[in-house]
Structure 1
Amino acid sequence: MDSLKKKEQTLKSSCTTSQFCFFCTMKEPDSPQRRAGLANCFKQMPLTDDQENVLVSSGLFHIAMAQPDDPEFPSLGIFECMASLIQKGVNDEMWLRRDQNIYIPYYAAHIIGSYTMNKVEFAEKAVESGVIPPLMELLRGNKMSWVEQRVAVRALGHLASYERTFEALSTYEEEVVRLAMDLASTCVDVVYDNFVGVKDTRRRAKYQCDLLTRGVGGFEMENCKAEEWTSQLQCWSLYLLNCFAYKERSLNLICEEGFLRNLCGMWGGLANHVSPAGVGLIRILCYSKYGRKKVAELNEVVESLCNLSRSSDDWQYMGIDCLLLLLKDTDTRYKVIDIAFFFLVDLVEIKDLGDRSNFGEAIIKVLLLDYHKQNKVKLINISSSKARKAVEDLWDWNVERRRKERAMSDEKLEERRVLVGLIKQQASRLYCLGEIEEATRKYSEALALCPLSLRKERMVLYSNRARCRLLLEDPSSAIRDSTRALCLSTPANSHRKSLWRRSQAYDMKGLAKESLMDCIMFIKYGCIKSDQDQTATKPRSGVKIPYYAARMISKQMDATWLFATARSRIKESDNQCGNDEGQYYREEIMMRKMMDNRGLSTIREEPLVVKEDINRRKVERARRISKRATSQIGLPHDVGVAEIQCGGPTKRDRYSKFSSSDFISF
């Protein structure tokens, strides 16, 4: 790659090549003559065997990326030129191996994708120029690699997104859909097996390494970029499928059971922060009756949507949308309500989510869609008696309780508030004494009495009850309470203690992605914002993150790594040392991406000296620790037991004047 750059610079400065030199023509001051020369260059490039064609392709690639809306090159025949070069690379293996021609198909497909990205008129010109057949050859992957498939699926996705060019691509509809499905499902394994998992740098395709890093960076940078490109390949394949699903085309193929199950695990990893990936396609499918029917038949997919709806993921609202669409359809409502109801009912008090307002009210309307106080026979269609009881409770809560509280005087509401405060103090005292079950019951009693209008007080009660349920090793209930607390926070999903508790609960249930997202948000609201508040009058020198939070992030990043499943298939005992080093570097790189995407800074770990290795204790052990801590140092009841029980720092680490070894600074 360095040699390519040097040659390109040399050609630009002094050229003695043929009359069709692209770089000389670009310097031509006379505009008509320059345009004629460029058009001639585009015609001659596929016909000549000039070893400098790769330099021209590289230069055009940079221009297309920088100025994708410039009409000059599309009007002079660049699409015909690029289509011919791709076809030449596919058909002539000897030509592809000569010089550095192997780079040309990649550049050509990328140029087509860049110019068709924003302008429908460019897309029409590209289709008229015959770009679809050569792009299809790249997409098939028979003679080229995943690197070329990535840019081919990108370009085809742009062509499929316009009404005027969709029909031209639909000629290959079944093949395109099946190829895109296969790419989305297998690309992670393919890239890992053929690139990331190859530890011997000599066995990696050199041109792929050059394209990934542009000649800058070594082994680990190649892995980092390969992860980013694989995420893009998967997401762009799903985007291409979206274009067909949106028009309700080939739904019988897209809704195949195995593929729908695979969609649940396609989120793109932390390398992807702009595409909804798998859930985006599921939502498109849920807009069609056939798609809803197929999604509702798979409990695994429904449960995945439910978990997403109770997370702090950017695409949380999409999970909720899918469930609401399924519940609004009478043909799918009673197939999913027994599962979906208990997730959505925790979200009924959410006000605003992103640009959505009164989201909770919309959820209530759907959950009570067919329920009337005088006509309970409608609930017969709900198979679970527990679900029927929950629907009735929601009606009583939403209608009866609200009506009664609206009729209360201000004095009565104030009495309730004071009484709730006293009960909360009793619950906190019981918690500090290690009476976790009694404390849980007291928090429940306070919640039953607390007026619905006191959102902040109820948020704290739910969060504290979640802390108790963590100690009782009931992560499902802890998730429900934490979610309700987060719905009451302003903005939604911003209460830091609830985020940390839900992250721990998700970790206990083995839901790594949900745990990771909550932990990221915990750092954002618990460390970043508090530090900004403290340093409002002076520049921020650094943010300190508790070790236990950074440890959780490190654990979940490893579990949710894009190639985690592919890695688990391969025994790497011979390269264990190299893997450990790669793992450390990958975590650092991914942490930087995560922090940048979430508005956080780069993390840098400091060594932590741990006095003893503390495993998870049983509830009785937690009670004894809590009693001793309370009697000796007056341990605050908001920390300590829950963190000792769930893997946080020891009492001594946490209260030793917050020494630098207890935190991670970045």
Structure 2
Amino acid sequence: MENTTWKKKKLNKHKSKTVRMDEKEEEEEESGCCFFCAIKEPDPRIRQPAVASFFDEMPYRADESGVLVLSALWNIAMTRPDDPELPSLGALRCMSLLIAKAVAEPASLLRHQNIYVPYYAAHVLGSYTIHLAELAELAVDAGAVSPLLDLLRGSLTWVEQRVAVRALGHLASYDSTFPAVAQHAEEVVALAMRVASTCLDTVYTEFVAVTPSEREQYHRDLLTRGLGGADMEDRRAEEWASQLQCWSLYLLCCFAYRDKSIHHLLCRDVGFLKDLCRMWGGLVNSDSPAGVGLVRILCRSEAGREAMAGCREVVESLCNLSRSSDDWQYMGVDCLLLLVDDHTTRPMVMDIAAPCLVDLAELQSLRARERIGDTITKALLLDFDHGAGALGGEAETAVKFLWELKVERKRREHRMSNKEATERTALAALKKRHGNEKFWSGNVEEATIRYTEALELCPLKMRKERLVLYSNRAQCHLLMQDPDAAISDATRALALARPANGHAKSLWRRSQAYDMKGMAKESLMDSIMFVNMLMDSDKGKERKLPYYAARMINKQMTAAGLFAGLASWDKTRKEDHDKKKNAVASSPSGCSLPTIEEEPWFCRRECKGKGEWRERR
């Protein structure tokens, strides 16, 4: 009897405890259910007040449902960024308050799954402001700039920094909201410059270079949701590091384009300019012009041009870009022309720029720029006196060659009779045949001479024949271990191609020449273009990727990777980093959240109020 009574008491106690736990769980889930139920309500008269009330209360709650609501809100903002309903009901103000709370009370991030809150909140702000100025104005009115600046300062980690700089870039790209960001111009510019220069190193040392068990768990969750292992995490980390750098440059572009007075802030740091010309965005951010986009804007001001011309590394990088098959080739050409057209910077850059631009002088069009070769010719021959020798060095040689090619030779051929033109064409073909014979017999030097003689005889209007001659001579230079001459001739052949860069053999030969010089990025671009042309040439047929091309691409992708130069970081830095990590409390783990999928770098539609520098591909 006593035993039965004891069992009943124990059962009642267990039931009471279960009821209390169920009530607690219901209370914890109530706020989340409030949002999800409200958002599903079809009647806007009921839905909108309920959602607005939830956004008003959410920053002051301390329950577990917050991250689930933010995850859902992030998904809505990514899929429907132009829908003004939730922003107008207080979503943007709510996100701003959540970020401010996370920065002011870092201990709160260690409760529940709050560690994810600032990331999602900043991401929602960026997603809702990507297209419409009206929503960007709502974000500014909601006080979004200040908490985003806190994240940009590095109050949390590089992951939150990434989405903060993205959101600030969107706010700075509209006429109506730029002044709100420009109030902090000097600090924002300095921060964005620092992030752009250091973010790759930061992501590498704090995430990629450490063992998976030492990585921040919530970073791993956000990157891959724990799926795919360390290799997938490394790839996504490289992608996100690239985005962090490119979005920082985008923010700088907003300032540089709208306010030329800040150009001196960007140009006074020579170290940043040297870093800038190496910021190419990588293959994962092919829609972003990265460093060259900012360089081109800076070249539109006198202070910017003088700074660019005074930095040899920048001018050389512009030349390399101009003689490549990169999508941003035209930007490199634009920058060089701006420097050459300025009477102050012209003498500073001609020795480097002239030989490069001469190779492009027969370009017909490049990215909607018609007769670009004629523009280059006029710029280089400006005030040129072919008998004075005022330039000197390589510039003098290059410009004299251009004068002979585009002026003297055109005059001679214009006065030439049809009979003489026919004879010269036949003689050029004979020289080419002799060159081929010498080449296949192994006498490469003699073949080079014959191809040069054929080029001197071949009429300018025989474009295809001259293209082949330049390409053949480039192959000779490769075999003679002269990569600079090979790059020059291959570029001249590609300038004669229609469309530009549309000759597979020349692309492959220039890729090999760049490989000989250790220029991985340029070699990679040409290799990829070469492979694309091979695949397109046999549409409808099954064609395998050539082994030699695949090997070249793999080699250059490894060498040109964003983290390639950081793999040899020293043990001292690692030890210092480990000490810092051990001093920081570990963050919560085990959250199952959706994998982040980013929108393209540039929106595919016209964005009202954006600057013209935000070009579409």
Specify if TM > 0.5: yes
Which residue of structure 1 aligns with residue 292 of structure 2?
279
Alignment of 1:264-413 (within 5 A): 264-371=277-384, 380=390, 382=391, 384-413=392-421
Shift of 1:407: 2.4
Which residue of structure 1 aligns with residue 166 of structure 2?
154
Say if 1:168 and 1:14 are closer, same or farther in 2 by CA, change over 3 A: closer
Q: Which amino acid aligns with 1:94?
A: A
Q: Are 1:153 and 1:236, in contact at CA under 8 Å, matched by a contact in 2?
A: yes
Shift of 1:372: 5.1
CA distance in 1, matches of 2:444, 2:43: 84
Shift of 1:219: 1.6
Q: Are 2:355 and 2:394, in contact at CA under 8 Å, matched by a contact in 1?
A: no
Shift of 1:43: 0.3
User: In structure 1, which of residues 178, 185, 195 is the aligned counterpart of residue 190 of structure 2?
Assistant: 178
Which residue of structure 1 aligns with residue 21 of structure 2?
none
Q: Which amino acid aligns with 1:230?
A: A
CA distance in 2, matches of 1:402, 1:487: 18
SS in 1 for 2:81: coil
User: In structure 2, which of residues 241, 253, 260 is the aligned counterpart of residue 230 of structure 1?
Assistant: 241
Q: Which amino acid aligns with 1:399?
A: V
User: In structure 1, which of residues 420, 423, 435 is the aligned counterpart of residue 431 of structure 2?
Assistant: 423
Query: Is 2:254 the counterpart of 1:243?
Result: yes
Deviation per residue, 1:145-178 (Å, 9 max, x gap):
1100000000000111112111111121111111
CA distance in 1, matches of 2:440, 2:81: 63
Between 217-226 and 460-469, report the one with greater CA deviation. 217-226
Shift of 1:341: 0.2
Q: Which amino acid aligns with 2:255?
A: F
Which residue of structure 2 aligns with residue 588 of structure 1?
none
Say if 1:466 and 1:20 are closer, same or farther in 2 by CA, change over 3 A: closer
Which residue of structure 1 aligns with residue 175 of structure 2?
163
Structure 2 unaligned residues grouped into runs of 5+: 1-25, 575-600, 602-617
Which residue of structure 1 aligns with residue 538 of structure 2?
531
Query: Is 2:213 the counterpart of 1:205?
Result: no
Shift of 1:412: 2.6
Say if 1:286 and 1:124 are closer, same or farther in 2 by CA, change over 3 A: same
Deviation per residue, 1:251-294 (Å, 9 max, x gap):
22211100000011100111111000001110010011100000
Deviation per residue, 1:469-522 (Å, 9 max, x gap):
111111111111111111111111121111111111111111111111111111
CA distance in 1, matches of 2:42, 2:333: 58
Between 349-358 and 385-394, report the one with greater CA deviation. 385-394
Q: Are 1:15 and 1:24, in contact at CA under 8 Å, matched by a contact in 2?
A: no
User: In structure 2, which of residues 94, 116, 125 is the aligned counterpart of residue 81 of structure 1?
Assistant: 94
Q: Are 2:136 and 2:177, in contact at CA under 8 Å, matched by a contact in 1?
A: yes
Q: Which amino acid aligns with 1:555?
A: K
Deviation per residue, 1:349-383 (Å, 9 max, x gap):
1112222211111111111122256xx55x63x2x
Which residue of structure 1 aligns with residue 546 of structure 2?
546
Q: Are 2:197 and 2:272, in contact at CA under 8 Å, matched by a contact in 1?
A: yes
User: In structure 2, which of residues 31, 36, 61 is the aligned counterpart of residue 23 of structure 1?
Assistant: 36
Which residue of structure 1 aligns with residue 587 of structure 2?
none
Which residue of structure 2 aligns with residue 583 of structure 1?
none
CA distance in 1, matches of 2:206, 2:396: 52
Q: Are 1:20 and 1:44, in contact at CA under 8 Å, matched by a contact in 2?
A: no
Deviation per residue, 1:100-157 (Å, 9 max, x gap):
0111100100111111111111111111111111101111113x11100000000000
Q: Which amino acid aligns with 1:340?
A: A
CA distance in 2, matches of 1:123, 1:273: 26
Shift of 1:434: 1.6
Shift of 1:549: 1.4
SS in 2 for 1:370: coil
Deviation per residue, 1:596-630 (Å, 9 max, x gap):
x9xxxxxxxxxxxxxxxxxxxxxxxxxxxxxxxxx
Alignment of 1:556-567 (within 5 A): 556-567=556-567
TM-score by length of 1: 0.80
SS in 1 for 2:405: helix
Shift of 1:19: 9.2
CA distance in 2, matches of 1:359, 1:187: 37
Which residue of structure 2 aligns with residue 137 of structure 1?
150
CA distance in 2, matches of 1:29, 1:293: 61
Deviation per residue, 1:60-101 (Å, 9 max, x gap):
100000111101011111111011100111111221110101
Q: Are 1:20 and 1:40, in contact at CA under 8 Å, matched by a contact in 2?
A: no
CA distance in 2, matches of 1:442, 1:123: 64
Query: Is 2:521 the counterpart of 1:513?
Result: yes
Structure 1 unaligned residues grouped into runs of 5+: 1-12, 575-596, 598-666
CA distance in 2, matches of 1:29, 1:14: 25
Deviation per residue, 1:387-437 (Å, 9 max, x gap):
224323322321221122122233332222211111111111111222111
Q: Are 1:20 and 1:41, in contact at CA under 8 Å, matched by a contact in 2?
A: no
Q: Are 1:20 and 1:37, in contact at CA under 8 Å, matched by a contact in 2?
A: no
Q: Are 2:330 and 2:366, in contact at CA under 8 Å, matched by a contact in 1?
A: yes
CA distance in 2, matches of 1:27, 1:412: 83
Q: CA RMSD in A?
A: 2.1
Query: Is 2:60 the counterpart of 1:47?
Result: yes
Q: How many residues get paired? A: 548
Moved segments of 4+, more than 4 Å: 13-16
Q: Which amino acid aligns with 2:403?
A: W
CA distance in 2, matches of 1:30, 1:477: 72
User: In structure 1, which of residues 448, 451, 459 is the aligned counterpart of residue 456 of structure 2?
Assistant: 448
Between 130-139 and 244-253, report the one with greater CA deviation. 244-253
Q: Which amino acid aligns with 2:370?
A: S
% same residue? 57
CA distance in 2, matches of 1:45, 1:178: 34
Q: Which amino acid aligns with 1:226?
A: A
Which residue of structure 2 aligns with residue 188 of structure 1?
200
Higher relative contact order (CA 8 A, sep 6+): 2
Which residue of structure 2 aligns with residue 59 of structure 1?
72
